[in-house]
Chain A
């Protein structure tokens, strides 16, 4: 009888370890001045250095060091006064030098932590995830296996190599073993990676797009019988490419390992691959015959010795921690939890904050971004923040607030801005969308409506105020929706002797 997750965690205690690789968004590569833009034609962003040409030498990207230090500071790490690069030697066609220049035993940041919040049966709880190290390295190129059915190396007719990615700066953030989470291990893992992603995004050091591979997570997991005090043999699961997958990979490994242990089978120390479709993992290469990387200090680079004053300058620039900021904004804007979550998940927090700072009412700023703009973005399958700027949204909201636009007209303005017709002002002018608030024009429409519906008008005259709705509707229709409904109501009631 196979154990399910709940049964597994009732008998076994999981220990986590998370290794997150982040591609830094520096303009140039780690050791040369080649561009790093995603999606360029193959091998167009290369030079003698990142192609490993004979005689070429690396030079460390100072911006990458700055980003790494910022990450370390944000994760409460000590910044090493002296750190070095090493060579990790192994042969692979997509690695130009057949060694990866990486920090090894002397990383730039050590001994940090990150507190993450999760919802437990006993309410919100904080778990401290300890960080062992943050180190810098370079990415490899990419192999494309052509002609086979699977796109994998086996069965391929030939392979192509793209070195655009070779030498892109990577930062690897490695936790210490995370124990004591019990059944919450999957939640802690997900919360950690989420929080980490948010922090990295707030630092502006990486695009942190898991689906594009600019943030990748390896999940290490081992189990030990509850109360045994042992540490079991761990597996390392790669290819975990979304936050949800992080959670699922932990669950999958807990179930797999517990069932092996139940059957008295050994856990093999190995690399496994996460399968998105099933939530399970399959074995990769076995680490039992561990590859000998023959690390030694990189003789082509001098040690990294950051100035203490510079580190303090960087510390002073650290932004507010994203989770704290979320709490603060939620309070300031009085947003319900659910809507706040929607804003965060949609990545709209920054633009909404900016829109509000430009004078928009918080509730309007939220609803326009989350509503109309997001709806149009969904239609076009793009990020809403790329469609329209906070300045433009704030401008539209200001016009609504002053009564110059109705919600209906505002939707048309936003649509026009997104369609590239210009600024909100230009769209209003071109489309003639101004609210009709000219008393004379409105009055003639009102009189026409009263003439058309004399009975309704009479009911209003005799005090049935709600009956005015039908007349207001007629005026709105007559003005093509461009009238300011409040103004129409005011004029109409006055005309019929009410208030």
Chain B
């Protein structure tokens, strides 16, 4: 699209209108979007076209439309985080990511659906109803960023922004046959990303190809003095890496702990075929062991809820969002209680309670303290593994997309879906998921995960780009061509 824009064969307004037409056609069934900013998007598109006519092209993605996960604030545009709590709230400021998108001339179509406050792996926890997987509308599109991934897979947007705390970019990418990247922690500013778990959250680029993802990555990444945890160093050259299409001499580490029990056969088959492609392209495969991974999930479910219990304390009805029970008689404390009772969904409450408990005096050392120790050990495991291999690989998720409703009453099964993605967040390194085929059992997309050391995001793009090219040559067409064409309702 960027090429067509550059060649002058289309305009940003045309592209934007075409995407709104597709959204109108299919989103009744998919429900990827929570809010569409038609006026704003078309205005941005007009500005982009006018600038281009005057020779001003702020980035290679100028004029290309994008879907924004509803956990990132955009000035004046409703931001709900998939929660009733923030219904009707219009943020008074732009997230740094949004500022960068706007500066790059990217057209923001609207806000995408998600699990409430990014807590979930299926988008079923959205207060506004689930998103459906374009590959099979009875199935989940992954989560929490199911809306962004589904929008890509349903051709409602060519680019999307997600956020990834335990896999919320990569697992949805895996189950929708799209590409998603969680950059190194600190690589992309978190300013304006409504916090779930501050030490794990990271915004990242989503697209249908590795190169598109890399282009978007370079737009949103970089140091931001408004985010104290952002890294003050040059952004890794991921676009250049994505175009390299060469992995000769690179060592690919296969993580022993992420391929056994609980992984669907079809997922493992496609994963190993992907690995074979990399070997044929000249990479060397080594097996690495990360024994602490067995504890990663448990530690994650202490750290993330602990931080979330504190981050979500601000939703108290005093300054923004809904307010319940303010009858002039009840105290502020009672109104806070009623609002939080009504505003938060079950999963959010579950995690707030877990986190409150884990941080409480007398339990802190046993829970939060131990979880932080596990985190340190995980980082050591990764360091040891990266001493043997340039990148590490695994299937992104143990299974393909499950049925909507299948796991809603079983949080543990739901949590297990993130077993392969969580260690990356815990260690703060980079992770990518790209499609590596369809599972034999159900014909649904399988994700291939590539992990790279902190601030070496370029390596996963290099390997991902090479694998994508090899698979495309093998298949003759992009995987998404196999997805059913969604009919208009």
- Chain A residues within CB distance 8 Å of chain B: 48, 51-60, 87, 89, 91, 93, 96-99, 157-159, 161, 292, 294-296, 299-302
Q: Is B225 an interface residue (CB 8 A)?
A: yes
Residue of B nearest to A49 (CB): B226
Are B229 and A161 in contact (CB-based, < 8 A)? Answer: no
Docked CA distance A59–B228 (Å): 6
Top-6 shortest CB links A-B: A98-B313, A294-B359, A299-B198, A299-B199, A54-B194, A55-B192
Known: A91-B336, A98-B313. A59 touches B361 (CB 8 A): no
Q: Is B318 an interface residue (CB 8 A)?
A: yes
Are B313 and A158 in contact (CB-based, < 8 A)? Answer: no
Residue of B nearest to A94 (CB): B318
Are A55 and B72 in contact (CB-based, < 8 A)? Answer: yes
CB distance from B267 to the nearest CB of A (A): 33
Docked CA distance A294–B227 (Å): 24
Complex interface: chain B residues within 8 A of A294 (CB): 309-310, 356, 359-361, 364
Q: Is B320 an interface residue (CB 8 A)?
A: yes
Q: Is B463 an interface residue (CB 8 A)?
A: no
Are B356 and A59 in contact (CB-based, < 8 A)? Answer: no
Q: Does more than half of chain A's interface fall in helix, strand or loop, or is it mixed?
A: loop
Docked CA distance A295–B307 (Å): 11
Docked CA distance A57–B315 (Å): 15
A89: contacting residue among B79, B227, B310, CB under 8 A: B310
CB distance from A85 to the nearest CB of B (A): 10
Q: Is B471 an interface residue (CB 8 A)?
A: no
Residue of B nearest to A161 (CB): B318
Docked CA distance A296–B361 (Å): 11
CB distance from B362 to the nearest CB of A (A): 9
User: What are 6 A-B interface contacts by the 8 Å CB criterion?
Assistant: A53-B320, A54-B315, A91-B333, A159-B332, A299-B198, A300-B195
Residue of A nearest to B318 (CB): A93
CB distance from A167 to the nearest CB of B (A): 14
Are B190 and A87 in contact (CB-based, < 8 A)? Answer: no
Are A302 and B194 in contact (CB-based, < 8 A)? Answer: no
A57: contacting residue among B79, B89, B190, B359, CB under 8 A: B190
Are A55 and B193 in contact (CB-based, < 8 A)? Answer: yes
Are A52 and B319 in contact (CB-based, < 8 A)? Answer: yes
Are B91 and A54 in contact (CB-based, < 8 A)? Answer: yes
Q: Is B306 an interface residue (CB 8 A)?
A: yes
Query: Which of A51, A52, A292, A294 is most buried by chain B, counting CB atoms within 10 A of its CB?
Result: A294
Query: Which of A59, A60, A301 is most buried by chain B, counting CB atoms within 10 A of its CB?
Result: A59
CB distance from A116 to the nearest CB of B (A): 35
Are B226 and A59 in contact (CB-based, < 8 A)? Answer: yes
Q: Is B448 an interface residue (CB 8 A)?
A: no
Complex interface: chain A residues within 8 A of B316 (CB): 91, 93, 98
Query: Which of A53, A57, A97 is most buried by chain B, counting CB atoms within 10 A of its CB?
Result: A57
CB within 8 Å of A: which of B11-54? none
Are B193 and A296 in contact (CB-based, < 8 A)? Answer: no
Sorting the interface of chain B by its residue count into under 10, 10 to 19, 20 to 34 or 35 or more gives 35 or more
Are B314 and A55 in contact (CB-based, < 8 A)? Answer: no
CB distance from B453 to the nearest CB of A (A): 20
Are A54 and B314 in contact (CB-based, < 8 A)? Answer: yes
Are A55 and B73 in contact (CB-based, < 8 A)? Answer: yes
B313: contacting residue among A59, A97, A157, CB under 8 A: A97
Complex interface: chain B residues within 8 A of A60 (CB): 228
Beyond known contacts A54-B73, A54-B86, A55-B191: 10 more, CB 8 A cutoff: A48-B92, A54-B195, A54-B315, A55-B73, A87-B310, A93-B316, A294-B361, A299-B307, A300-B198, A301-B228
CB within 8 Å of A: which of B65-93? 72-73, 79, 81, 86, 89, 91-93
Residue of A nearest to B227 (CB): A57
Query: Which of A48, A59, A98, A296 is most buried by chain B, counting CB atoms within 10 A of its CB?
Result: A296
Docked CA distance A48–B314 (Å): 12
CB distance from A36 to the nearest CB of B (A): 19
CB within 8 Å of A: which of B352-369? 356, 359-361, 364, 368
Are B194 and A93 in contact (CB-based, < 8 A)? Answer: no
Q: Is B95 an interface residue (CB 8 A)?
A: yes
B191: contacting residue among A57, A96, A98, CB under 8 A: A57
Q: Is B260 an interface residue (CB 8 A)?
A: no
Are A58 and B228 in contact (CB-based, < 8 A)? Answer: yes
Residue of A nearest to B326 (CB): A158
Q: Does more than half of chain B's interface fall in helix, strand or loop, or is it mixed?
A: loop
Complex interface: chain B residues within 8 A of A89 (CB): 309-310, 313, 359
Complex interface: chain A residues within 8 A of B361 (CB): 292, 294
Complex interface: chain B residues within 8 A of A57 (CB): 190-191, 226-228
Are B93 and A48 in contact (CB-based, < 8 A)? Answer: yes
Q: Is B328 an interface residue (CB 8 A)?
A: yes
A51: contacting residue among B190, B310, B319, CB under 8 A: B319
Q: What is the 8 Å Cβ interface bit string for chain B, positions 94-121, against chain A (1 contact, 0 not)?
A: 0100000000000000000000000000
Residue of B nearest to A32 (CB): B226
Q: What is the 8 Å Cβ interface bit string for chain B, positions 284-316, against chain A (1 contact, 0 not)?
A: 000000000000000000000011011001111
Are B359 and A53 in contact (CB-based, < 8 A)? Answer: no
Complex interface: chain A residues within 8 A of B333 (CB): 91
Docked CA distance A98–B310 (Å): 8
CB within 8 Å of A: which of B422-439? none
Are A296 and B91 in contact (CB-based, < 8 A)? Answer: no
Q: What is the 8 Å Cβ interface bit string for chain B, positions 319-335, against chain A (1 contact, 0 not)?
A: 11000000010001100
Docked CA distance A157–B314 (Å): 24
Docked CA distance A20–B215 (Å): 53
CB distance from B306 to the nearest CB of A (A): 6
Query: Which of B95, B190, B310 is most buried by chain A, counting CB atoms within 10 A of its CB?
Result: B310
Docked CA distance A93–B318 (Å): 7
CB distance from B169 to the nearest CB of A (A): 17
Complex interface: chain A residues within 8 A of B81 (CB): 54
A53: contacting residue among B91, B226, B356, B368, CB under 8 A: B91
B310: contacting residue among A53, A54, A158, A296, CB under 8 A: A296
CB distance from B252 to the nearest CB of A (A): 32
CB distance from A99 to the nearest CB of B (A): 5
Known: A57-B190, A58-B228, A91-B333. A292 touches B360 (CB 8 A): yes
Complex interface: chain A residues within 8 A of B194 (CB): 54-55
Docked CA distance A48–B226 (Å): 12
Are A158 and B314 in contact (CB-based, < 8 A)? Answer: no
Are B95 and A55 in contact (CB-based, < 8 A)? Answer: yes
Docked CA distance A468–B319 (Å): 81
Complex interface: chain A residues within 8 A of B320 (CB): 53-54
Docked CA distance A241–B216 (Å): 56
CB distance from B93 to the nearest CB of A (A): 5
A302: contacting residue among B229, B314, B332, B356, CB under 8 A: B229
Complex interface: chain A residues within 8 A of B190 (CB): 57
CB distance from A86 to the nearest CB of B (A): 10
Docked CA distance A51–B91 (Å): 12
Complex interface: chain B residues within 8 A of A157 (CB): 328
Docked CA distance A57–B226 (Å): 7
CB distance from B233 to the nearest CB of A (A): 14
Complex interface: chain A residues within 8 A of B89 (CB): 54
Are A97 and B314 in contact (CB-based, < 8 A)? Answer: yes
CB distance from B95 to the nearest CB of A (A): 6
Complex interface: chain B residues within 8 A of A87 (CB): 310
Complex interface: chain B residues within 8 A of A97 (CB): 313-314
Complex interface: chain A residues within 8 A of B226 (CB): 57, 59
Residue of B nearest to A48 (CB): B93
Complex interface: chain B residues within 8 A of A48 (CB): 91-93
Known: A51-B319, A301-B228. A56 touches B192 (CB 8 A): yes
CB distance from A238 to the nearest CB of B (A): 21
Docked CA distance A161–B316 (Å): 14
CB distance from A57 to the nearest CB of B (A): 5
Are B91 and A55 in contact (CB-based, < 8 A)? Answer: yes
Complex interface: chain A residues within 8 A of B91 (CB): 48, 53-55
Docked CA distance A158–B331 (Å): 9
Are B72 and A98 in contact (CB-based, < 8 A)? Answer: no
CB distance from B371 to the nearest CB of A (A): 11
Docked CA distance A55–B99 (Å): 14
Known: A91-B333, A158-B328. A53 touches B93 (CB 8 A): yes
